[in-house]
Structure formats: structure tokens, C-alpha cells
Amino acid sequence: MSTPEAWPIASAMLSLGNADPEAGVAQPLRDRWLADLTEVRGAGFDRVDLTDSWLHYGDLSAGQLADLRACLDEAALSAVSMSAIRRSVIDADAGDAHLAYLHRCIDAAAELGVGVVSAGLHRALTDEQRERLWFWTAVGHVDDPEDAEAWRRAVSRFRELGAHAENVGLLLSLELYEDTYLGSASSAVRLVEEIGSDAVGLNPDIGNLIRLPRPVEHWRELIEQTAPYANFWHVKNYARYEDPSTGLYSAVPAYLESGVIDYRTCIKVMAQAGFDGVVCVEHYGGDGLSMSAANRDYLHDRVLPAARGIEGTSRVRQMSSTAGAA
């Protein structure tokens, strides 16, 4: 168990666009990958989350994975986590394909030396969501809380993925996301407990819930309930406005230190719960990479040192926080 000061802080690849082989990238793929990774390194990061909005890692060939590893080495970046998003394993149409893709992501992560793979139950954005400035202002797919068979399928398939991850020395982390079986603290905790694997934990991305334009759980309740099960962590913040008398609720992206979520408190709650994993900084809109770098500095220079000496016992297995050091 290390102190919070040693937690690795990784940059998400959200702001770097789509560099996937199937995206019609104009320049040679290896050149594009190296340019993007070098840009991340230039922002002061030495660790990166392989967010699959940038590349579909589970679809890369062995040669492409080797090229990606070479680009990471050349950019002096360590890939410490992989986030596979919008690949719900209980999607009625694409669930089987998503399950197979996530298995391939786990194998790709093991090949690249990544320690944790994050997945979830959120679906592809709807047409209406894609048309909005902020996609979370439109309602997407909603998992039916009364569908016992879908719940059992989620438990079974995540248990299967967790066994695969454990077999190759990785962790699986399940990301909180609205209107899914991971859309509230109590439901997320129930799900991971029913899965019953110490290789499967939660990614308490409470920003995904706090930004919703409707009444939401308080950020402190969310983090306190999910922290004991956390083995990976997406962090981002939002400025939030609420006026229940008029029914007005709104949120826009903000720096970690200036949004409604108090990350100084969240860090202490996570440390007390025994968290000892990767922290991935994310941001939507504008210069997301620079915002992420500023958030990294806020955490590294001011917040994590303030939590020095706080220790706890996690309910799930943690990866070594020194893994992937560049």
C-alpha cells in the first residue's frame, strides 16, 4: 500500500480525436499515433490511459499493437490503463460482439503491459445526443431496473471478463454511468458484490452522474459508497446549477478545483477506503489536454500531498501504484 502521493496520474486520450485504422486517417497511422502521444508527453504526462475513442484496441492486429508499443516507447509514455467505452455487454443487438471485443481488449492490454481495463454498460450515443453541444443534456438508453435477466447477464458477463483479466494478471473496473445498472452508488455496489471477484472493482466516475440536468445523488454520498470497491478512477468536474423551484438543472465542464465536486475531500475518502490505483484525468470541451494537465498539477502538487499518511483497506484487489512508471 502506497501513499496518495504515489498514485499514478494518467491522461485520457479523449481530446486527441479518432486515430483508428478504420477512421480514414489521412497520414500514416504510426505517424499519427506518435504525434498524438508526443503531444500528451509535451503536456507533461508520463502516463496515459488508452481510451478507445482514440483507438479500438481490441481490433488492432498484432503488428499494429507492436507499432503502438513502439510509439509509446518513443514518446516516453507508459500505458497504465485502458478504457473501453460504450460497449455494453447486455446490449440486445451488439452485446455478444461487445463481449468478444472486451475480451480482445484484455488481451491487448496484457500485451501492452497495461494493469487495468475499464468497461461499463453505457451505450452508443443517440442521434439526439450527438446533435447536442453537451451530449448528457439528452437522455440516452435506460437499463430496465425490473429486467432480472438483463441484470443476471451483466453479472455473468462481467464475471467472465474478470476471470479473463485475472488470468492474464489484470484488473477489471466498472465505470459509473447514468441510467445503467452502474448508474447509482447502491446499484453499482450491488452489481460488483454479486460478481464476487476480487479482480473486479468500480471506477467511481462520479462526474458522469453529477453533470445530469436533473436531481442527482450528492457527490459525497456517491464517493463514500463506491470508494471501498474502487480499483481505478476517472476524475473530472462540472460547475452545476440547481433551482428545484423552477426545475432548472444544468452543468458545464470545469477545472477539478472549481467544480461542484470537492476532490480534496474525495481523495481523502478514497485513501481511507484503501484505494491505491491509477487516476485518469478527463475533460470534455475546449483544450481538453491542457485542462487535464492543469488538473494533474492540482492533484499532484496540492491535493495528494495533503492526504499523506491516510491509509485504509480496500474491498477489491489493487494494482501497484508504481506500475507503468516511465
Domains of the chain: 4-306 (3.20.20.150)
DSSP 8-state code for residue 203? E
Is residue 277 within 8 Å of residue 230, measured between CB atoms? Answer: yes
Q: Per-residue pLDDT tens for 17-61?
A: 999 998 888 788 999 999 999 999 999 999 999 999 999 999 999
Measured from the Cβ of residue 287, the count of other Cβ atoms closer than 10 Å reads 12
Q: What is the pLDDT of residue 322?
A: 41
- Closest of 192, 203, 200 to residue 279, by C-alpha: 203
Is residue 119 within 8 Å of residue 174, measured between CB atoms? Answer: yes
What's the whole-model pTM score? 0.96
Is residue 280 within 8 Å of residue 233, measured between CB atoms? Answer: yes
CA count, 13 A, side-chain hemisphere, 38: 9
- Closest of 235, 287, 280 to residue 261, by C-alpha: 235
Q: Are strands 47-51 and 78-83 parallel, antiparallel or unpaired?
A: parallel
* pLDDT interval class at 326 (50, 70, 90): very low
Sequence-ordered list of residues with C-beta below 8 angstroms from that of 220, at least 6 positions apart, any chain: 262, 265, 269
Q: Per-residue pLDDT tens for 100-109?
A: 999 999 999 9
88: pLDDT strictly greater than 80: yes
Burial letters for 245-262: b for 16+ Cβ neighbours within 10 Å, e otherwise?
A: eeeebebebbebbebbbb
Give dist(CA 89, CA 255) in Å, integer: 32
Q: Per-residue pLDDT tens for 298-307?
A: 999 999 999 9
Q: What is the pLDDT of residue 325?
A: 43
